[in-house]
Structure 1
Amino acid sequence: MRATLLQIDVDQRESVASRRDRVAAMVRAHADADLVVLPELWPVGAFAAEDFAAEAETADGGPTAEVMSAAARDAGVWLHAGSIVERDVVGGELFNTSLLFSPDGDLAAVYRKIHRFGFDQGEAVLMSSGHDIVTARVPGTVLGLATCYDLRFPEQFRLLLDAGAQTLVVPAGWPARRLAHWRLLVRARAVESQAYVLACGTAGTHAGVEQAGHSMIVDPWGEIVAEAGPAEQALSAEVDVFRVDVTRADFPVLRDRVLGVPTPKPR
């Protein structure tokens, strides 16, 4: 499986509509990929909390969903379109919501971020928390969906593992000042889950917060397959999905779990 992470520079001088069109063109330019991944909240900026309400949209049929659906269909790729500020059509709540599109442009999975960042400000007070562990089967592997701050909560990744995840997809808007934590946590989630991690961050500075960039593709042994720098970049690599089963068979650490979590049954 060829994976491409699009590390988008979120510049607030660029309109959201213009950025949607620019990113859609980038997706279409990577039709050689099987899976394309975008960052967290790239339409508005992960730290641009003052714009969340104004830029909120629906997950199915909103402007970002429509543009990304068309881009996935045109490129013929699976597209994890990062996340958007979603406004729930029933209760009006805001969520940090990830969208996965099939090569036909169909909305294949939706994940509402469970762990909200901000410590009583920003996302933590403006958005509601999701509650569902979400996986999605794509050709050759099972994706487990998480977002940014979720990386700091390994129990969520254990639940994804138990749900069958083999490749963990983590869009993010991670601050540059905590780059060391990003690089550590992405590799830790790969090692403990014996899974690939595709971690796609943003570049640039938005709402005064410099972004870390350094999107990464990490294998089930925790080795970095590919890593971006701090600027906008397309990062591509071949992901050998069979290495997940090989790693878990050769070093069967997961079968020794004893803390009340059931051991995943062989598929």
Structure 2
Amino acid sequence: MRASLIQIAVEAGESVESRRERVGSLVREQAGSADLVVLPELWTTGAFAYELFGSEAEPLRGPTYEAMAKAASDAGVWLHAGSIPEQDPAGPLYNTSLVFSPSGELAAVYRKIHRFGFDRGEAVLMGAGEDLVTVRLPETTVGVATCYDLRFPELFRGLVDAGAETFVLSAGWPERRRAHWTLLAQARAVENQAFVLACGTAGTHAGVPQAGHSIVVDPWGEVLAEAGAGEQVLTVEFDPGKVAATREQFPALKDRMLGLRTPGR
């Protein structure tokens, strides 16, 4: 299976409309060279451009949906279209990921569960999703996650229990915590014996330099490919069958102890 992670540069001065058009072209360029294409988190606005979330929020089936559905269909690829600030007519803003099939049909919607910012930014501006999301591709079952989710191993355990063999994560991860990005991507791969495809952004979001360094990790924690700091298309070939082989060869997941008691209870 071949995957292309498009590490988009988000810079001030480029309009959302221009970036949307440019990204659509980059997706189309993957036709014939990738089965799965992955985009970063909040690439329309920038993950730290909090002041733009409200003004640039879209309905689920808004302009980014339309552009990315068309790009997926034109390229004939599965497309994790990163995430957008979604304006739910019946509720708050959400950090929402869209996954499209090679025919351009909407295959999955994931609203980010763990919102970053503590008492500001995304944590107060956006609502929290509640549902784990998996997507069955012909070659593998994908579990969907977004950026800050990477710090919460229980989410990934839940995705494994739902059948996930490959984690696909979009992010806008800051450069100052890049060491955590690499470490956590490898940890999630090793502990769940799964592939991790983690796509970040380049550039500077509202004054926050981005880490870049999109990464693909195999079930043993080996880094198969890693991008640099700038805008880049990272393409890698991997064997989804390695997940089952790893879990059979080293069946650690079978030794999970569930329902452990808290002392004193």
* TM-score computed with the length of structure 1 as normaliser: 0.96
Matches within 5 A, 1:10-25: 10-25=10-25
Secondary structure at the aligned position of 1:116 is classed as coil
1:146 alignment partner, SS class: strand
Q: In the alignment, which residue of structure 2 is the partner of 1:257? A: 256
Letter paired with 2:204: T
Aligned to 1:94: 93
2 CA distance for matches of 1:260 and 1:16? Answer: 47
1:176-255 superposed matches below 5 A: 176-255=175-254
The CA distance in 2 between the partners of 1:137 and 1:119, in whole Å, is 33
Distance in structure 2 (CA, Å) of the matches to 1:145 and 1:188: 16
Which residue in 1 is equivalent to 2:36?
Answer: 35
Q: Which structure 1 segments of 5+ residues have no match? A: 262-267
Q: Distance in 2 between matches of 1:205 and 1:219?
A: 29
> What is the distance in 2 between the residues matched to 1:170 and 1:206?
19
Distance 1:141 1:75 in 2: 20
Distance apart, 1:58 and its partner CA: 1.4
Distance 2:127 2:209 in 1: 25
Task: Tell me the CA shift for residue 72 of structure 1.
Answer: 0.2
Spell out the pairing of 1:149-168 with structure 2 (5 A cutoff). Answer: 149-168=148-167
Q: What's 1:122 paired with?
A: 121
The one-letter code matched in structure 2 to 1:201 is G
Residue in 2 aligned with 1:68? 68
Partners of 1:216 and 1:78 in 2: how far apart? Answer: 18
**Is 1:48 the equivalent of 2:67?**
no
Residue type at the aligned position of 2:140: T
Letter in 2 for 1:115: H
- What letter corresponds to residue 47 of structure 1 in structure 2? F
Give the counterpart letter for 1:232 in structure 2: E
Distance 2:55 2:126 in 1: 13
1:26 maps to 2:5: no
The code of the aligned residue for 2:158 comes to L
| CA–CA separation in structure 2 for the residues paired with 1:185 and 1:75 | 31
After TM superposition, give the deviation of residue 12 of structure 1 in Å.
1.9
Counterpart Cα distance in 1 of 2:135 and 2:205: 31
| Structure 1: distance between partners of 2:94 and 2:138 | 28
Question: CA offsets per residue over residues 77-103 of structure 1, 9 Å max, x none?
Answer: 000000000011222x10000000000
Query: For the residues of structure 2 that align with 1:10 and 1:204, how far apart are their CA atoms?
Result: 5
Secondary structure of the residue that 1:240 maps to in structure 2? coil
- TM-fit CA distance, 1:6: 0.1
Distance in 2 of aligned mates of 1:33 and 1:170: 17
Moved segments of 4+, more than 6 Å: none
Unaligned runs of 5+ in 2: 261-265
1:81 maps to amino acid:
A
Task: In structure 1, give the amino acid aligned to 2:177.
Answer: R
Whole-angstrom distance in 1 between the partners of 2:54 and 2:133: 25
CA shift for structure 1 position 35: 0.1
Matched pairs, number: 259
| Cα distance, 1:260 vs structure 2 | 2.6
Q: How many Å apart are 1:119 and its aligned residue? A: 1.2
Percent identical among aligned pairs is 68
Q: What is the RMSD computed on CA atoms of the aligned residues?
A: 0.8
* Aligned-partner residue type, residue 176 of structure 1: E
